[in-house]
Amino acid sequence: MLQATVKLCCGIAHDHLRRLPGLKITAIEAIQKDVRGLVVRGSPHLPSKICYIQRLMGKETEPAGHISPSQFSSMDLSYITQGERALQQALSILQQHTSWQAETMLDAGPTVSSATLPGLGKVFRAEVVLAVPVARLHQELFERIEQMPQWNPTLSRVKVLQRVGTDTLVTHEVTAPSPGNLVGQRDFVSVRHRGRRETAVYLVGTATHIEPLPLQEGCIRAESQLSCIILQPLAGDPDCTHFTWLLSMDLKASATVLLGGWIPMSVINRVLPQSQADFIKHLRRHLSATA
């Protein structure tokens, strides 16, 4: 398919053909389809193919509503690739893994279960029904992500470092200091990406690197191996949302050891599901207060 696309681009590189809008739009649509396919598959040749197509196409304006590959640098494309890979990984887990072990929670809240998966270790799955539509949750958790610390006291800062197109963000999050917190303060640099499948919205996150971003004083740089929130309209009641959250994190316990502390794995495995329950509790309170 890509070879056919390149041939089409070569054709419209000639001036007399470049002026034919129908052919140009066809070429752009073909490029868009190929690029998205390469992103999903994580092709290592994506940046070079984009550069080649750019040289053939030039820097002209694309039709409204289309995303042109020429808008993205190779670094931008790598962020999109990371987000798409995280989404595919989450979809694979949801489709293929059906055996989850229930976690005992101290506080009443969402149902939380866990499973140990290859390459990720322990993954926690929280599920709850929230009495708000998908669109409202989508807005709070993606569009208004920088405002999260206003209603979630476990965060002190969320900053969008970069926006890539309309569906991908690079963010920096810093947890809030808390007396008696055995884990201590952490910060995260993440790619956040949204996708849609039928009526469901998927909000995924995974660790990334961006330069220059110095380490925060008093914080340990942890990594989100996989975070995926799935928002689905509740069957029979579109004003309610079935909220599912897959979470796997590396809290860098070894770094804590080097700093003079030690976090048993049993504590980490307790902290993560409790953090999911706390997040949902704060989210519910915020949604209720702003209804």
- pTM beyond cutoff 0.85: no
- The answer to whether 121 and 248 are in contact (CB under 8 A) is yes
Across 58-72, 116-130, 178-192, 221-235, least confident range: 58-72
Of residues 264 and 112, the one with the higher pLDDT is 112
- The pLDDT assigned to 36 comes to 52
- pLDDT of amino acid 174: 95
As a whole number, mean pLDDT of residues 136-142 equals 97
Residue 6 pLDDT class (50, 70, 90 cuts)? very low
In this prediction, residue 89 has a pLDDT band, given cuts at 50, 70 and 90, of: very high
Mean pLDDT of 129-150: 96
Question: What confidence category does residue 103 fall into, taking pLDDT thresholds of 50, 70 and 90?
Answer: confident
- Domains of the chain, residue spans: 102-250+261-290
What is the amino acid identity at position 107?
D
Of these ranges, 23-32, 109-118, 158-167, the one predicted with the greatest mean pLDDT is: 158-167
Q: What are the distances in angstroms from CA 65 to CA 44, 141, 165, 236? A: 27, 24, 12, 32
Reported as a pLDDT band with limits 50, 70 and 90, residue 218 is confident
Q: What CATH architecture does domain 102-250+261-290 belong to?
A: 2-Layer Sandwich (3.30)
What is the pLDDT of the chain when averaged over all its residues? 79
In contact, 232 and 253? CB cutoff 8 Å: no
